[in-house]
Structure 1
Amino acid sequence: MKSETEVVSAITTRHFETGRWTRLTIRGGTIESVDPAEGPEPVSGSDPWVAPAFWDIQTNGRWGISFSDPALTVDQVVEIVLAQAEWGAARICPTFITASAENFRHGVQTIAAACESDPRVASGVVGIHLEGPFISELDGYRGAHPLSAVRDPDWDLFQELQEASGGRIVLMTLAPERPGALEFIRKAVASGVVIALGHTAADGPTLRAAAAAGARLSTHLGNGIASPLARHPNPIWEQAAIDSLDASLIADGHHLDPATLRVLVRAKTAGRVILVSDASPLAALPPGRYGEWAVDPSGKIVVAGTPYLAGSNQGIEVGLNQLMETAGLSLAEAIATATTQPARLLGRPLPTLTAGQAANLVVFEHDARGVEPAFKLIRTCVDGRWTEVNQPGVKDDAAKRSVQISSNT
């Protein structure tokens, strides 16, 4: 019997950067060879294409399970991380929203325990993203984060959480206007943590000071913001104008209207955009009310009874189509927003389709004619393991799951 590392598979597809037919041979969890291949010259909408698998640096849970749940278990983390292949992701940052110190501590310890219990999870978790608790307390800017847990930056608390996580916190979103934020940014950056600005009502000078202190990202730019805003200046345009800040965007068709998405992509340029799912704990669930949150028939997730968005019900695939069809990015530019650009932000080796690299890739159909979605995911390979994508409909038979949503406070 062959061991897992000896399993060999091969695919012949069009390369996402060149459009040329390419044969990839995979042995175990590694790309063994990449060679030119023969295939029909005219491009068909049904041709298979290949690209690196996605990196999603902001995902909050799935199937009614929140990473921020104070009762989160190791088994739940394992299940959610491994299921990301069904949405094309090989690497993710489990994301915690604002919560008490006790809940944060439990959450990061549970992620660490899951990584230590299963090498597949250790490989799939590129690091932890703390979205809070050092954010704006103002309605609108705070979004769905619980007011009771919002607080000023606390370096001692952060160090405690970093130790509890086994050093796995790699990204933190905060509001730079909070007292002590600039000094916190400098310390975090010196420790190797990437700082993002988000859920912030900061003015231009404060945002620019945060960037000068080392902040490198605007978290879901255009969201986590109050509905009534000054025409200009405001935190959206101020961050869009800071060239040293990349911007993560939620391009699910709900968080940003087409014109805003197009303008933000043009302002930041394609090379400074990072596509995120911001997948909610309700991701992959059918429409309905789930405790404090609700999924409407269009798939939009909100805090029940309010207009406040509470994450997305879509994977990266939907965002890629929005970036191509609405913002005008090429296939290669769009895929870079979910592969090389998040990896570069986190200081990790860039995912490529080259011999010797980890076998993390997506096979998809690409129709540039506008007749069908420009990107349609078919299957995913994560460290040599293939996962077929269930299309269409609610994935993972989520409707049959018993859903329990717990408060983060």
Structure 2
Amino acid sequence: MEITKRHFETGRWTRLTIRGGTIESVDPAEGPEAVSGSDEWVAPAFWDIQTNGRWGVSFSDPSLTVDQVVEVVLAQAEWGAARICPTLITASPEDFRHGVKTIADACESDPRVASCVVGIHLEGPFISEVDGYRGAHPRSEVRDPDWDLFQEFQDASGGRVVLMTLAPERAGSMEFIRKAVASGVVIALGHTAADGPTLRAAVAAGAGLSTHLGNGIASPLTRHPNPIWEQAALDALDASLIADGHHLDPATLRVLVRAKTPERVILVSDASPLAALPPGRYGEWAVDPSGKIVVAGTPYLAGSNQGIEVGVNQLLEVAGLTLAEAIATATTQPARLLRRPLPTLTAGQPANLIVFGHDAHEPKSAFKLLQTCVDGRWVDTNQPSVPGALAKRSDQISSKT
């Protein structure tokens, strides 16, 4: 098929020919020179390296099934993502092994899932046990880094763990970081109360990312120094940001983007297992009417209910990024971090695309997803109702309140 849209980097009309799951050709096309708010644009599809689940399904759930993984992974296209890192938070070793093996089994059973899952992200269990820094992770399962235990997780995943978040102040962290990086795993620092020297030592050992910088942090916090400013000042660390309008206020988002520079910012959804569910209480968690997800009965955030689209708009409106810079935070930068080929609109690349509207005169809705193409398969972008295979589970979660 052929599509003719404005190119996200140049603004020029561009015709892409797609055959199977590949971009066959990219050519200049004719179209009105003046940009209109009704014009449609095209860019590479998103990479989301931190997504915890959807529709009441958690990748950390001890009852996770292959069918659930398939449903949730393929549904990410509805939020513009063609490549994701299913993310498991702190849990028991048994639950970790079950989760990563179930994701691996889903990849083995469905080539679409295997293509979409760029790797697995383990957010824990080697994080701070201190309240605030620990976030919504269960204290009982937090532990010091253990290379043999990690190898069990990696073996169960079939070698699919590509990203791990840990707190470098924990005993044995530096040796663990060096081993992990040597094995090809990217180490991120997060849910950490580490001081400046410890953070700098972790970077020297090979850590390359701050996980959701500005979140997973205690409150109140020492003015300075503190783990936010220390990490923001380290140029060797990229920073993932949850720009959903809840996790970071506008001033903090703007300051962190300026500190890291747009080239070192990675947008993540941090989508909660309750993502795409209506407001209400679901066991220990709740979806607030405003859309934020919290530990029930508290103001403490427990993941996001938004896709990358909201973050792109935040970067355009709040941080003042250009369209190309904002999209790169969810395409080029995560691919580079994971040492994968960079997604581009060039012949021979996988047909992973987003089609979107862009109206620079309407800053609060300057970027609006319309369609996603994942390996040649087109999906309308929206937030659908819970699919049939997962509806019963969603009802069961609601009934526990």
TM-score range, shorter chain: over 0.9
| CA distance, structure 2, for counterparts of residue 127 and residue 287 of structure 1 | 31
Q: What does residue 343 of structure 1 align with?
A: 335
Q: What does residue 49 of structure 2 align with?
A: 57
Gapped runs of 5+ residues in structure 2?
Answer: none
Q: What does residue 179 of structure 1 align with?
A: 171
Number of aligned positions between the proteins: 395
Q: What does residue 3 of structure 1 align with?
A: none
Aligned residue runs from structure 1 range 55-134, under 5 A:
55-134=47-126
1:205 to 197, 209, 227: 197
Q: What does residue 401 of structure 1 align with?
A: 391
**Contact 1:32/1:356 (8 A) holds in 2:** yes
**Contact 1:66/1:405 (8 A) holds in 2:** no
Q: Given the superposition, is the C-alpha separation of residues 208 and 297 from structure 1 closer, same or farther in structure 2, using an over 3 Å criterion?
A: same
Gapped runs of 5+ residues in structure 1?
Answer: 1-8
Aligned residue runs from structure 1 range 130-279, under 5 A:
130-279=122-271
Tell me by how many angstroms 1:308 deviates: 1.2
| CA distance, structure 1, for counterparts of residue 229 and residue 154 of structure 2 | 32
| CA distance, structure 1, for counterparts of residue 98 and residue 290 of structure 2 | 34
Q: What does residue 296 of structure 2 align with?
A: 304
Tell me by how many angstroms 1:389 deviates: 1.7
Amino acid at match of 1:95: T
Amino acid at match of 2:391: R
**Contact 1:285/1:398 (8 A) holds in 2:** no
Q: What does residue 373 of structure 2 align with?
A: 381
Tell me by how many angstroms 1:306 deviates: 1.6
Tell me by how many angstroms 1:397 deviates: 4.4
Amino acid at match of 1:369: H
Amino acid at match of 1:195: I
Give the SS at the match of 1:221.
coil
Amino acid at match of 1:162: Q
| CA distance, structure 2, for counterparts of residue 44 and residue 83 of structure 1 | 31
**Contact 1:367/1:375 (8 A) holds in 2:** yes
Q: Given the superposition, is the C-alpha separation of residues 175 and 372 from structure 1 closer, same or farther in structure 2, using an over 3 Å criterion?
A: closer
Tell me by how many angstroms 1:369 deviates: 1.1
Give the SS at the match of 1:377.
strand
Amino acid at match of 1:332: A
**Contact 1:70/1:106 (8 A) holds in 2:** yes
| CA distance, structure 1, for counterparts of residue 173 and residue 29 of structure 2 | 54
Residues 280-318 of structure 1: CA distance to partner in whole angstroms, max 9, x if unpaired? 000001100000100010001001112211000000000
Tell me by how many angstroms 1:370 deviates: 2.4
Give the SS at the match of 1:396.
coil
| CA distance, structure 2, for counterparts of residue 372 and residue 34 of structure 1 | 31
Seq. identity, %: 85
Give the SS at the match of 2:6.
strand
Residues 188-230 of structure 1: CA distance to partner in whole angstroms, max 9, x if unpaired? 0000000000000000000000001000000000000001100
**Contact 2:119/2:161 (8 A) holds in 1:** yes
**Contact 2:313/2:364 (8 A) holds in 1:** no
Amino acid at match of 2:196: G
Give the SS at the match of 1:239.
helix
**Contact 1:144/1:303 (8 A) holds in 2:** yes
Tell me by how many angstroms 1:396 deviates: 3.0
Amino acid at match of 1:32: E
Following TM superposition, the consecutive aligned residue runs of length 4 or more in structure 1 with deviations greater than 2 angstroms are 394-402
| CA distance, structure 1, for counterparts of residue 219 and residue 363 of structure 2 | 35
Q: Given the superposition, is the C-alpha separation of residues 206 and 405 from structure 1 closer, same or farther in structure 2, using an over 3 Å criterion?
A: farther
Q: What does residue 279 of structure 2 align with?
A: 287
| CA distance, structure 1, for counterparts of residue 270 and residue 179 of structure 2 | 27
2:323 to 331, 343, 346: 331
Q: What does residue 5 of structure 1 align with?
A: none
**What is the aligned-residue RMSD (CA, Å)?**
1.3
Give the SS at the match of 2:365.
coil
Q: Given the superposition, is the C-alpha separation of residues 320 and 195 from structure 1 closer, same or farther in structure 2, using an over 3 Å criterion?
A: same
